[in-house]
Amino acid sequence: MVTNTYPRHRTPAEHGSPASRRRFLAVLGTAAAALPLLGACGTGSGGAADPDHRGPVGGALPRVRVSQAASPGRGVKRTSFPITAVGVTWTGSPHGVRLRLIDRSGRPGDWQDVRAGCPCGKDPDILRTRSAAPPHRALVPARGSYGYQLDVDAGVKVVEAIAIDAGRLGRKGRTTTPGTPSTPAAPSGSASDVAFPPPGLLLRADWGADEAKRLTVDGKQSSPTRFTPVQAITVHHTATPVDDPDPAATVRAIYEQHAVSNDWGDIGYNFLIDRQGAVYEGRFSDTDGIPAHNADDEVVTAFHTFGFNSGNIGIALLGDFEEAKPSARMRDSLVRLTASLAARHELDPLAGVTYVSPTSGKSTEGPAVGGHRDWTSTECPGAATYLDLTDVRERAAELIR
């Protein structure tokens, strides 16, 4: 963990009981979408896709198709549909996996190294089990291929591979295209810039979330929502191509991977932001409060920062920002969203916090607004984003004043 030098902020125990908030009701629009190119927080446990997560898909929802293989080996895996991305889960060296894509005619492409993504997942139950690091995970853009093949180093075991077709959003009557904010993203310093939810937020229904993926066959939540007071805000990147032509489909593919393949029961982030500055609602938080919150203004626990999820709001930037910088629109939306959340929860973006685990009661120091690498050993949210967080904090603090 990176040691911070921020002035300490108050702990959850020092917060008073938050007042109840009005229910947030909004319906935003989306237009037809195409297939994305992506990479994200990773895939999960082995075995075939769990049918308990799947329910009937309504005609208005995109048709998402998957092909999963436990311990896929080195043979060619073909699909009957065009693949948006291939997710790989493995143990052993984080640099020991290669993949090549197979086109519709059966011709293989070049071998490419598979780069492990950041360690995401559900918090371990420290009181009952030993904390264990998650396996390595990656999601590789497939650009409409019809198969893939894996190769691994000695000592590496591929636990699972999943091919995803994210489908198309074919709803009628929508007015807003995912990836195009309905309002300007640039903060102007007005009171509306710290109002939450931010203008133009795309709800789960707008990006085509199939809510059946969160449920078991008896209609219960696979991962029941749990709410705790907000302690911190953490920024991630999804390691997707920066020039993603269809971010809404990318969000759906990440949702498929996280909710079903990982067996997390939902997408792992609370919010996502694309290069045009559009903000997407992530983890489901029920219908009696605002996005990511319950009626008591507590935040729903997501799965973005392994070991530090509860009370930690995860914001993912769609793209790979190890070298490339986030676009101006994306940065502006990150500032606005960060400011609105910090103002709502009385966090000082320039301060540090004493994070207290609701599970174990253990505490650790971290930034009120930071990157994933502040909490664990990872390159996330990319070097370019991480270096930019100082400016994000300062601009967010200015909006709140």
CA-based torsion, 125, 130, 133, 135: positive or negative:
negative
pTM to 2 decimal places: 0.81
* Chain length of the chain: 401
Per-residue pLDDT reduced to its tens digit, 33-90: 232 333 456 533 333 333 333 333 344 688 889 999 999 999 999 999 999 889 899 9
Per-residue pLDDT reduced to its tens digit, 193-205: 789 998 889 999 9
Annotated domain spans of the chain: 12-31+172-400, 51-165
Please, are residues 52 and 151 in contact by the beta-carbon 8 Å criterion?
Answer: no
Residue 53: strand, helix, or coil: helix
pLDDT value of residue 190: 54
Which fold, 12-31+172-400? Lysozyme-like (3.40.80)
pLDDT value of residue 170: 67
pLDDT value of residue 383: 95
Q: How many CB atoms are closer than 10 A to CB 291?
A: 23
Hey, which bits of 271-317 come out as E strands?
Answer: 271-273, 279-281, 299-300, 312-317
Distances in Å between the Cα of 279 and the Cα atoms of 195, 274, 330, 340 are 14, 7, 9, 13
Bridge partner list, 77: 148
Say how far apart CA 248 and CA 280 lie, in whole Å.
Answer: 8
pLDDT value of residue 199: 87
Residue 129: strand, helix, or coil: coil
Burial 110-139 (b: 16+ CB within 10 A, else e): eeeebbbbbbbbbbbeeeeeeeeebbbbbb
Query: Residue 189 is encoded by which pair of tokens?
Result: 């310093």
Residue 394: strand, helix, or coil: helix
pLDDT value of residue 186: 43
CA-based torsion, 310, 313, 319, 322: positive or negative:
negative
Low-confidence residues of the chain: pLDDT under 70: 1-60, 125-133, 170-192, 289
pLDDT value of residue 132: 60
Domain 51-165 has CATH 2.60.120: yes
First to last CA, the chain: 30
Q: How many CB atoms are closer than 10 A to CB 399?
A: 21
